[in-house]
């Protein structure tokens, strides 16, 4: 592990080679994560499948610091292909990990690259950077769910 958890090699790798950085085609919902203090501005979009609410596509675009963009890249990989309820478990688990509330983490989720974000809790001013895309994902999920509940069945 790198001496400084802010620049862990996995964070730098996701920053330099981001995954799913684009607009989703035919997105069901989009939400913006912005931090006026530093100018970070990310747009997270998602597309759900019709029957079960599984995230078929999760994309992000915009600009942020290395931590913000790397976290968005990891987020888009972690939640693609999972039901929206499972995506919310990911949001809550990453939020708990980054803020140091380990008891609130889902123990059955395998964090993989996301574990590289755990050291960020040592730098409270950077926690918002790590959670920016995750909070936007949470908001986009809410928007998509409200749209689904407002749409009559069979349409």
67-99: pLDDT as tens digits: 999 999 999 999 999 999 999 999 999 999 999
What integer is the mean pLDDT of 18-25? Answer: 94
Question: What residue ranges do the domains of the chain occupy?
Answer: 5-150
**φ, ψ at 146 (rounded to 5°):** -65, -40
Find, among 102, 91, 97, 105, the residue nearest to 5 by Cα.
Answer: 97
CATH fold of 5-150: Sufe protein. Chain: A (3.90.1010)
- C-alpha distances (whole Å) from 49 to each of 52, 55, 59 are 6, 7, 15
Give the sheet arrangement for strand 40-48, strand by strand: 29-35, 40-48, 55-63
The whole-angstrom separation of Cα 85 and Cα 91 is 10
Q: What does the chain come to in residues?
A: 155
Residue with tokens 């999920």: 141
| 0.95 surpassed by pTM | no
Mean pLDDT of all residues belonging to the chain: 91
Strands, DSSP E only, in 11-97? Answer: 29-35, 40-48, 55-63
């Amino acid at each position: 592990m790198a001496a400084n958890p802010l620049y862990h090699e996995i964070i730098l790798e996701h920053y330099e080679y981001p995954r799913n950085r684009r607009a989703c085609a035919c997105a069901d919902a989009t939400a913006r994560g912005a931090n006026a203090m530093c100018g970070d501005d990310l747009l997270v979009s998602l597309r759900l499948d019709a029957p079960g609410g599984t995230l078929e596509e999760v994309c992000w675009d915009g600009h942020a610091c290395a931590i913000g963009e790397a976290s968005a890249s990891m987020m888009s990989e972690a939640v693609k292909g999972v039901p929206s309820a499972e995506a919310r478990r990911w949001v809550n688990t990453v939020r708990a990990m980054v803020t140091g509330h380990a008891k609130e983490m889902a123990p059955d989720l395998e964090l993989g690259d996301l574990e590289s974000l755990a050291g960020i809790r040592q730098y409270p001013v950077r926690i918002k950077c790590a959670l920016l895309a995750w909070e936007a994902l949470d908001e986009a999920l809410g928007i998509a769910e409200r749209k689904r509940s407002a749409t009559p069945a069979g349409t």
